[in-house]
Chains A and B, each alone.
Chain A
Amino acid sequence: MSNQLMKPFLYLSLVTGLVAAPVVYASESHAPHEDHPEMLSWVKLVARAAAPSSLSEFLEKWEKAISSLLVIALITGLVLALTRNLKLIPGRAQGALELLITGLDDVVQGVMGARGRVYTPFLGTLFIYIFISNLFGLIPLQNSPMSFLTTVAPIAICVFLYVQWIGITQNGILGYLHHLCGSPQDIFGWLVAPLMFPLHVLGEFIKPLSLSFRLYGNVMAGHILLAVFLGLGVQMLKPLHVPFGFPLHFPFLFLEILVGVIQAFVFTLLSTVYISMMLPHEHEELVSSKLT
């Protein structure tokens, strides 16, 4: 990796080690009811500073909504600023955005074929939202909105409801139930249909559970890993009695970035596969080899 790329990560980890570590240490010592060390966010910090007031109660209660609203505002502001004057021959920022959108389009069409174009906005938004919020969680004093189950579960529920809606509108209500019985064609199919129906219904309900727990578990575990290493870094410099810690967590920032990208991609890919399984298909291959 070039020096140009290493510098911002170095600064990021130094700032996190210096600024956030004593904050983490304070949270570890003043929060005896916490089972696992967590990274403090600025919302919790402000809530603790304004301790017994209604503002602090509001912030503690709405911390997760505030983080996710911040990410949404960031994405919206960024995209609005970048697409202000759309030119036919794009500049750098517009070119980067076009690269992202065509990449997402290729992924969705690789799974679903050309009819998948209609679903690219929804799936692309999923990817961009999860990706940006995972990157957002690496900023010092900031928790990713995906590290709370309260923000991850609604996305999974949205995907679940959208997939069922697509099933009902594309196949008709009878075709939807037919699909849920396992699409029986011959007599053997119809014989085991009463057995397949509860299995498929259960499978449909397990999908949002597994989607949300995969994303939440990965991001939460990453934050706890960072918090543990921040605490270790602080305790390393304890004999020196200085108010900051050693940035021991530096390599794990890269792991966090990798995990964030992979989890966003897996979430989007799985949602695409669920949608494509719900559409009427004539026993063709689900994932083509154009997946790049």
Chain B
Amino acid sequence: MEPKTMLAIFLPLSLGIAAFGSALGLGKAVSSAMDATARQPEASAKILVSMLIGCAFIEALTIYALVIVFSLSGKIG
């Protein structure tokens, strides 16, 4: 198989896998944030801030994969 074909198959696939993993992680993070807010609604601002920070970290892993896709996508066409 040519390198271009392999890149064309695996680049979007890798991004999909990264997005799948981070979706699982984000779902877990947001769900525990909602549990904590339901348990103690007056702390919801602090919980929101911590949740946003945690989500930014998890999201960053998918963004790394996206950056690689962008930088390698020129070699396909």
Contact = CB atoms under 8 A, between A and B. Distances in A.
Same assembly: yes
Interface of A: 35-36, 210, 213-214, 216-218, 220-221, 262-263, 265-266, 269, 289, 291-292
B3 interface: no
A262 B53 CA distance: 7
B31 interface: no
Given A214-B56, A263-B56, A269-B53, A35 B63 contact: no
Nearest to A32: B77
B57 A221 contact: no
B61 to A, nearest CB: 9
A292 B60 contact: no
Contacts of B53: 262, 265-266, 269
Given A35-B77, A217-B66, A221-B63, 20 more contacts: A35-B70, A210-B60, A210-B64, A213-B60, A213-B63, A213-B67, A214-B60, A214-B64, A217-B60, A217-B63, A217-B67, A220-B67, A262-B53, A265-B52, A265-B56, A266-B53, A266-B57, A289-B46, A291-B50, A292-B46
Contacts of B52: 262, 265
Interface in B33-75: 45-46, 49-50, 52-53, 56-57, 59-60, 63-64, 66-67, 70, 73-74
Contacts of B50: 291
Interface residues of B, number: 18
27 contacts: A35-B73, A35-B74, A210-B60, A213-B60, A213-B63, A213-B64, A214-B56, A214-B60, A216-B67, A217-B63, A217-B67, A218-B59, A218-B60, A218-B63, A220-B67, A221-B66, A262-B56, A263-B56, A265-B52, A265-B56, A266-B56, A266-B57, A269-B53, A291-B49, A291-B50, A292-B45, A292-B46
Contacts, number: 47
